[in-house]
Structure 1
């Protein structure tokens, strides 16, 4: 049975910490969503702690700049955990190695203050750092098949700084680094992932929450919020925390009308996961 929840306040007394997804939940890359932002701010005002947990392939400071451009204020969250920050630890552990950056120039903050030598071509690299497509408006993963086949022939490892397959930009779905990483895996390539659904980003987020609260946080008092079965729901399940699923996100077209999702379609969607979410909300609101 799918449990629909219209208001975050129905769950607020049961949780101290929210680990909230960003793209598709509080903004779409073009505009902020006022009601979800208000809901998070109201949760914080009641003593709760909010850590934004995102597969953005950039450091938290860079993500915060984007939030400011979208007029999302600091009253909405306490801290930010990013796939980019997790990836930076990998890069630091491979200092001096030649890396081929597969991704757009906007992701350059990922490398700030790190000892990384860049290879002009994949064939000259020791490994690949994938943050996305060079042009995600016009290209698809198939654009990169030949490059990835050559990298696989050279046994190059890849670190994927954004495990998302797609993300909403406005009302359009665009490919992310995860789509390239999955193609590389089908070719037999070795891929390390930096963000959700893998444990390191959740461990970082929980540590940030504990620091803000001044005490360790029990996982049963943590609620993850997100719109992706593959990353948000799977990540919450793997980490042992509850999940509130936002249906009006990247899966909206699979589950019926954006404002009125079909329960049977949701059950089919959740069958991909080890267990269903605690509840489903069409859009996060207080």
Structure 2
């Protein structure tokens, strides 16, 4: 049964490391959540390790720079594992061919195609080409995050007929940037799969990003799975992914699903929470309104 808690400190002494989601947990896409930052700083001062595990399509260094702008200090975490790095490694190992058609924001996602030391010795040369020339699709997000994913249906029909695989750099369907809900790469990959195409996923809830997170953690401490807690607001990503890896999970109710638990996100209705989790057929170890 899921334990409803008021503070991370109620259960944090059971764990030596945290795998912490970012968007909706530590920041809202605009600014940091001060209570979440303070909770992570306190946990680290007690000797715990914090790995930020995010479905961002960006390399970890780009995420670290972004966090500075949001007001997340470096003493709130030890390492970062991104869906982008997991997906980039697969791309440079030829998962969708060497000639790829990219869907995403050129300004923000161009770093996705930067060289990667992790696979430098084995990397194939990746060339971005037109859809007609492509051997595979790389989706880091929609070009317009407010547009319905259905705008890609015609391109996806063509790609499916060619038998192209789609590499999804961010399995999230939506995120909330401040008060605005935006589409993510996962929505496009979901549409492509629905149309009969093959989508490859590397972020939560899929195993590759957890393998990367464990490797990042192993560089700073040896921690068994029994002593890792996954934290996040995505029931189908953070919670499902953590449970699938056999890890304990802490569900943030005040994030994407906040409206399901009553009118006050700070005080989720325990009865509605229990019913909703039963409908999801998932039982996180614990739940909290916001990370604090």
Bigger CA drift: 33-42 or 1-10? 1-10
Q: Are 2:114 and 1:108 aligned?
A: no
Task: Using structure 1 for the length normalisation, give the TM-score.
Answer: 0.95
Aligned residue for 1:74? 74
Q: Are 2:176 and 1:168 aligned?
A: yes
Q: Secondary structure at the match of 1:133?
A: coil
* Separation of aligned partners in 2, 1:183 and 1:255: 29
Using a 3 Å threshold, how does the CA distance of structure 1 residues 47 and 67 change in structure 2: closer, same or farther?
Answer: same
Aligned residues: 281
Aligned residue for 1:35? 35
* Separation of aligned partners in 1, 2:194 and 2:54: 25
Q: Are 2:161 and 1:153 aligned?
A: yes
Contact 1:99 1:126 in 2 (8 A): yes
Contact 1:127 1:158 in 2 (8 A): yes
Aligned residue for 1:196? 204
Aligned residue for 1:52? 52
* Separation of aligned partners in 2, 1:262 and 1:131: 36
Correspondent of 1:128 among 123, 129, 137:
137
* Separation of aligned partners in 2, 1:55 and 1:272: 24
**Over residues 121-151 of structure 1, what are the superposed CA-to-partner deviations in whole Å (9 max), with x where a residue is unaligned?**
x2221000011100113x1111111111121
* Separation of aligned partners in 1, 2:26 and 2:86: 22
Aligned residue for 2:119? none
Deviation at 1:108, TM superposition (A): 1.0
* Separation of aligned partners in 2, 1:165 and 1:75: 30
* Separation of aligned partners in 2, 1:237 and 1:273: 13
Unaligned runs of 5+ in 2: 117-124
Contact 1:2 1:263 in 2 (8 A): no
* Separation of aligned partners in 2, 1:233 and 1:270: 11
Deviation at 1:219, TM superposition (A): 0.7
Correspondent of 1:271 among 267, 275, 278:
278
Residue pairs, 1:221-240, within 5 angstroms: 221-240=227-246
Task: Using structure 2 for the length normalisation, give the TM-score.
Answer: 0.93
* Separation of aligned partners in 1, 2:272 and 2:156: 35
Aligned alpha-carbon RMSD (Å): 1.4
Q: Secondary structure at the match of 2:181?
A: strand
Aligned residue for 2:121? none
Contact 1:226 1:244 in 2 (8 A): yes
Contact 1:101 1:129 in 2 (8 A): yes
Aligned residue for 1:251? 257
Deviation at 1:65, TM superposition (A): 0.6
Aligned residue for 1:117? 127
Q: Secondary structure at the match of 1:37?
A: helix
* Separation of aligned partners in 2, 1:207 and 1:93: 19
Bigger CA drift: 100-109 or 260-269? 260-269
Q: Secondary structure at the match of 1:260?
A: coil
